[in-house]
Amino acid sequence: MPTDYMYLMKCSKGGNFTQGQLSPFGNIELSPAAGVLNYGQGLFEGIKATRNEDGHLLLFRPEQNAMRMKIGAERMCMPSPSVDQFVDAVKQIVLANRRWVPPFGKGSLYVRPMLLGSGPILGVAPSPEYTFLVYASPVGNYFKEGSAPLNLYVEDEYDRASRGGVGGVKTISNYAPVFKSLQKAKNRGFSDVIYLDSVKKRYIEEASACNIFTVKGNMISTPPLNGTILPGITRRSIIEIARDYGYQVEERPVSVEELMDADEVFCTGTAVVVASVGSITYQDKRVEFGPKAVCAELGSTLVGIQKGVIEDKKDWVVQID
């Protein structure tokens, strides 16, 4: 859904981003030879702005998104805005579109910062010009199931990422390749797909747009950040919250056999927040999971902090008005 304003800032190859500006939301002009169109030289981030009970506008750890974009930009041979520039642009776009931020408890304004190789380049090389663009749209639940547990399918044919590739950065080129598996799974009634490692096809990595956690007793496990998995900000936050509650948390390879034998499984991400998993199907074997106590405890704490209902002792939340 289009909102009122977007934010634009440009720089040349080898230069630095300077002052950007708001402009009415609308189409942008790109050369047919733009690097982002021909070679996929682009990154994006996702941040949610919400209201607290008093109606104030809140952001959750936006500086982490800024730093993740800088890391991705280095991998993709792109200049990037500074952390301060990034956060300031996000604040500006939320304030300019504040009438689109839903009331407390009714959804959020999803903010999409993008870094694009916008200059023309026919040869296989970095773009000569770059555009940092931020737009926003009000959103509700990511999955059509709403808050109902997800039904996931383990994909053992197609890979999402491989060692030495770009699976660990939020490049636009990571997303279209999952469409095939995701469409196939959704046609069979599944919510999303879990991908396996590209070498042994035995260890879980992540879903199409979220990280995966398993629970066994007091142990919470999630695949390690080895370059093929996106370092999710919600993932990082849930790990900290879980350790605060006394859970043992391990970042280690998790086999598909362990996944199917878990007490609970849940997903995390900016869009999904914390979503419980009701069932997983792998090679025609379906496992259903019972009570989702750990997921509910961690998820309610995170959402409470994000919405200003629970005291933010970690300085994660930024009030911008």
Q: How far is it, in rounded angstroms, from Cα 127 to Cα 190?
A: 39
Q: Are 301 and 243 in contact (CB under 8 A)?
A: no
Q: How far is it, in rounded angstroms, from Cα 213 to Cα 222?
A: 5
Q: Are 130 and 42 in contact (CB under 8 A)?
A: no
Q: Are 63 and 192 in contact (CB under 8 A)?
A: no
Q: How far is it, in rounded angstroms, from Cα 176 to Cα 297?
A: 33
Q: Are 121 and 33 in contact (CB under 8 A)?
A: yes
Q: How far is it, in rounded angstroms, from Cα 113 to Cα 103?
A: 23
Listed residue (44, 37, 43) closest to 118, CA to CA: 37
Calculate the dihedral angle through the C-alpha atoms of 99, 52, 133, 83, rounding to the nearest 10 degrees.
150
The pairs formed by 157-161 with CB atoms below 8 angstroms and a separation of 24 or more are 157/181, 158/195, 159/195, 159/196, 159/198, 160/195, 160/205, 160/206, 160/208, 160/228, 161/195, 161/198, 161/205, 161/228, 161/229
Residue 154, classified by CB atoms within 10 Å of its CB into exposed (0-12), middle (13-18) or buried (19+), is buried
Q: Looking at the annotation, which residues are catalytic?
A: 170
Element (H, E) at 288: strand 285-288
β-pairing, 219-222 with 248-251? parallel
DSSP class of 173: G
